[in-house]
């Protein structure tokens, strides 16, 4: 069977699958969920590791080359290294990465690397301990910083540090965060805040366009020039013109400059729904098909249906309406 990537109706080759492994998280970030958390899904409704591995194997047959594990917080699910080992052994999967808040990574970075994880993205929205507790409501900055260093020691490179920029909350730190790229070799990515659902207090007037972020960084630290960095996501990467051997700076602009024209991804939720688009309402129920005995051919057809259903572009809403799936449950 051919494993050439499948293309959607716009001719975009679909090579990237984001897999949410849990809806649980050990933090309560203000732009993601309410302080009390969200009602958790029943354990029986969450895909088993063997089910995830089967679906990823089928996706790889259709040309998926990059797989990213997300949550919630993926390390909140017990035995994640077992899943990593399963996925790393699937023919066709060339890049297996994870997005994490980093708080548990110091403990797991080395075992994950040994199991076959190749890279990590770590969410870090501030470098101030008191503000870190304010944004996460319960986290400790030192734990995430230790996770970053553990990931680098384990060879999970390039380690990418993601900062969601919010006016009035942390936008005064973009220069200091960018400085870590110059002085410590970090690969820092600045992300426009998106509407993430109930309890997301900074998705409206907290929005900062990415051009404003870049301008502040270049005025303070020097000019940037285009660069490339391993990965196949929506970020535009830059290096320092005066320090080409330092870390990189990336910008992700889902609101001010949609990257839909080259979107190459599908999303699999923790409860087994396949999403053609992050902001779309269409979901294909792979869990039901799996548990009703669907063979591989039928599951391949569902993947093809999702690829065919990818829209030309998204219309990101100002808020998530009641009853819609919250982004904290889609893996972002």
> CB–CB of 5/63 below 8 Å?
yes
Helix extents (H) in 116-202:
129-136, 141-153, 174-184
Look at residue 200 and tell me whether its pLDDT is greater than 60. no
Look at residue 25 and tell me whether its pLDDT is greater than 50. yes
Chain segment 166-177, per-residue pLDDT in tens: 999 999 999 999
Look at residue 2 and tell me whether its pLDDT is greater than 70. no
Count of residues making up the chain: 332
248: domain CATH number is 3.20.20.70
Q: Give 285's pLDDT tier (boundaries 50, 70, 90).
A: very high
119 vs 53, 69, 113, 152, CA distance in Å? 19, 10, 8, 9
Chain segment 60-93, per-residue pLDDT in tens: 999 999 999 999 999 999 999 999 999 999 999 9
Q: What mean pLDDT is reported for the chain?
A: 90
Highest-confidence segment of 25-29, 86-90, 225-229 = 86-90
pLDDT of residue 206: 84
Stated as kind and residue range, the H or E segment containing 55 is helix 49-61
Q: Is residue 1 part of a domain?
A: no
Rg (CA), the chain: 19
According to DSSP, the residues that pair with 96 across neighbouring strands are 67
Look at 7-11, 50-54, 64-68 and tell me which has the smallest mean pLDDT: 7-11
Q: How far apart are CA 28 and CA 23, in angstroms?
A: 12
Look at residue 155 and tell me whether its pLDDT is greater than 80. yes
Say how many domains are in the chain.
Answer: 1
First to last CA, the chain: 31
pLDDT of residue 229: 87
pLDDT of residue 246: 97
Question: By C-alpha distance, which of 249, 252, 101, 238 is closest to 180?
Answer: 249
Q: How far apart are CA 217 and CA 179, in angstroms?
A: 9
Q: How far apart are CA 77 and CA 81, in angstroms?
A: 10
Chain segment 286-327, per-residue pLDDT in tens: 999 999 999 999 999 999 999 999 998 765 544 444 345 455
Look at residue 31 and tell me whether its pLDDT is greater than 90. no
138 phi/psi in degrees, rounded to 5: -155, 5
Domain region containing 77:
6-329
Q: How far apart are CA 324 and CA 264, in angstroms?
A: 23
Selected residue with higher pLDDT from 90 and 38: 90
**Whole-prediction pTM:** 0.92
Look at residue 259 and tell me whether its pLDDT is greater than 80. no
pLDDT of residue 254: 84
Q: Is residue 254 part of a domain?
A: yes
Q: Is residue 165 part of a domain?
A: yes
Q: Is residue 154 part of a domain?
A: yes
Q: Taking residues 182-197, what's their average pLDDT?
A: 87
Q: Give 1's pLDDT tier (boundaries 50, 70, 90).
A: very low
pLDDT of residue 204: 47
């Amino acid at each position: 069977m051919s494993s050439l990537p499948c293309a959607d109706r716009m001719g975009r080759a679909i090579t990237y699958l984001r897999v949410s492994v849990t809806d649980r998280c050990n933090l309560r970030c203000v732009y993601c969920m309410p302080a009390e958390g969200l009602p958790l899904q029943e354990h029986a409704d969450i895909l088993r590791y063997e089910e995830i591995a089967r679906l990823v194997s089928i996706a790889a047959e259709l040309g998926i080359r990059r797989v990213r594990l997300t949550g919630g917080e993926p390390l909140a699910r017990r035995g994640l290294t077992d899943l990593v080992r399963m996925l790393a052994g699937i023919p066709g999967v060339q890049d297996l990465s994870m997005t994490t808040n980093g708080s548990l990574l110091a403990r797991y970075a080395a075992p994950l690397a040994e199991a076959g994880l190749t890279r990590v993205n770590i969410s870090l929205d501030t470098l101030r301990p008191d503000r870190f507790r304010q944004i996460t409501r319960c986290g400790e900055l030192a734990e995430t910083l230790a996770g970053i260093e553990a990931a680098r020691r384990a060879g999970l490179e390039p380690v990418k540090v993601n900062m969601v920029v919010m006016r009035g909350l942390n936008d005064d730190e973009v220069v200091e965060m960018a400085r870590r790229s110059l002085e410590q070799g970090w690969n820092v990515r600045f992300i426009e805040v998106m509407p993430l659902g109930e309890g997301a207090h900074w998705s409206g007037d907290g929005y900062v366009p990415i051009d404003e972020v870049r301008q502040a960084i270049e005025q303070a630290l020097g000019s940037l020039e285009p660069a490339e960095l391993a990965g196949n996501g929506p970020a535009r990467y830059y290096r320092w013109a005066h320090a080409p051997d330092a870390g990189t700076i990336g910008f992700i602009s889902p609101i001010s400059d949609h990257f839909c024209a080259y979107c190459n991804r599908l999303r699999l939720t923790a409860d087994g729904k396949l999403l053609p688009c992050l902001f779309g309402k269409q979901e294909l129920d792979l869990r039901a098909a799996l548990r009703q005995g669907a063979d591989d051919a039928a599951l391949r057809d569902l993947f093809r249906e999702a690829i065919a259903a990818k829209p030309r572009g998204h219309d990101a809403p100002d808020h998530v309406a009641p009853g819609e799936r919250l982004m904290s449950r889609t893996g972002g």
